[in-house]
Amino acid sequence: MAKQLLIDAIRGKKTPSPPWVPYAGVHCAFLIGEPADKMLKDPELLAKGVTFAAKRYHADGIPLVFDLSVEANSVGCDLKWWPDNVPSVTNHPLSDKSVAEAGLKLPTKESGRWPILFEAARLAKPQLEQMDCALMGLFCGPLTLASHLAGVRIFTDVYKNKEKAHDVLKFAGQVGARAAQLYAEMGADIIAIVDPVASQIKDATFKEFVHPYCQDAIKVINDAGLTSSFFICGDATKVLESVAQVGTHGFAIDEQLNLNFVRDIAIKHKVGFGGNLKLTLALSLGLLSPREDAIVSLAAGGTTGYCFAPG
């Protein structure tokens, strides 16, 4: 395991071999024989799951959680819990109110589930250090958090009600910056903005509503001397140039993108890139051989700024 190798790759540097990050998420619960909801509510089980997964998969870095409901929950969204999945957000406090009208406040380390994450990080971090494995803090990006806060109407508001959309996105960006600060305080080595729905919009919308509201969080990460990344899911082809220019050290994509295309954009903008072992087709369904799929990714990714990871 090699934490520095991963940091170098995310920062776009050449590495002797590609580092590897399993985004284990609630799979950690499966590995330790616990339901996902129970693990996510219990810091000891969470630390146990994360460290077990890091060891089992010889990870160079591992996220503490891969759960995009944490930030929304910490500012007032309710959750539906699942035994085999991440929790889902069930209400949208800004669907018919502004941030001021709803009285939403920025989270603190005492809000929502942040105390669980702090305690889990306290337990996991020394064990990960011993394994030379980076602790990664992943937080919900501005457009996905805005979707949680305002519901699906945000995708109409970005065209038809821009003032409302900017109000929600601005708050989401501030929450993101606070989340980045909290992950820095708990000892994360790498902090990533995870904005999966940012692939579901036009590039101009990304530039107007996603890029600006990532900047506060990126500044927090940079000021702390840590390494930043931007994770996007789905068919992100139309926004990928903008993703590479969002200001993070690197970015990561999912199985729906061609890694050669992604690599060329990353190298052009001198940032790192990660992906894209096929989570669904290979790892989940077994329709492709994970081994052969890994070889294809490794061949395409190369050793300049590339991090091998599920996509």
Partner 1 sequence: MAGDKIHIDVLTLDSVQCAACGYMMESIAALPDDVQEMIEYKEWSIKNKEGIGKFLELKGKVLPTICIERDLVFPSIIPQYEELIDEMAKRAPNEAMSKRIQSLRDKGFQFDKIQENLKKAGAGLKTRADS
The footprint of partner 1 (CB under 8 A) covers 68, 80, 82, 84-86, 88, 90, 92, 95-96, 144, 147, 151-153, 155-156, 159-160, 196-197, 199-202, 233-235, 256, 280, 284-285
- What residues contact residue 121 under an 8 Å CB cut-off, 6+ apart? 47, 64, 135, 186, 187, 188
DSSP-assigned letter for residue 196: G
Q: Which is nearer to partner 1, 137 or 187 (CB)?
A: 137
- What residues contact residue 103 under an 8 Å CB cut-off, 6+ apart? none
Smallest gap from Cβ 301 to partner 1, in A, equals 22
Smallest gap from Cβ 130 to partner 1, in A, equals 31
Q: Which is nearer to partner 1, 88 or 98 (CB)?
A: 88
Rounded-to-integer distance, Cα 249 and Cα 272, Å: 6
Q: Which is nearer to partner 1, 96 or 223 (CB)?
A: 96
Smallest gap from Cβ 249 to partner 1, in A, equals 23
Q: Which is nearer to partner 1, 156 or 289 (CB)?
A: 156
Instruction: Give the residue from 274, 273, 276, 242 showing the smallest Cα distance to 257.
Output: 276
Rounded-to-integer distance, Cα 286 and Cα 28, Å: 19
Smallest gap from Cβ 144 to partner 1, in A, equals 5
Smallest gap from Cβ 275 to partner 1, in A, equals 15
Rounded-to-integer distance, Cα 214 and Cα 144, Å: 12
Q: Which residues pair with 79 in a beta bridge?
A: 89
Smallest gap from Cβ 179 to partner 1, in A, equals 16
Q: Which is nearer to partner 1, 46 or 197 (CB)?
A: 197
Rounded-to-integer distance, Cα 130 and Cα 91, Å: 41
Q: Mark residue 2 as left, alpha or beta (left: phi above 0; alpha: psi -120 to 50; beta: remaining).
A: beta
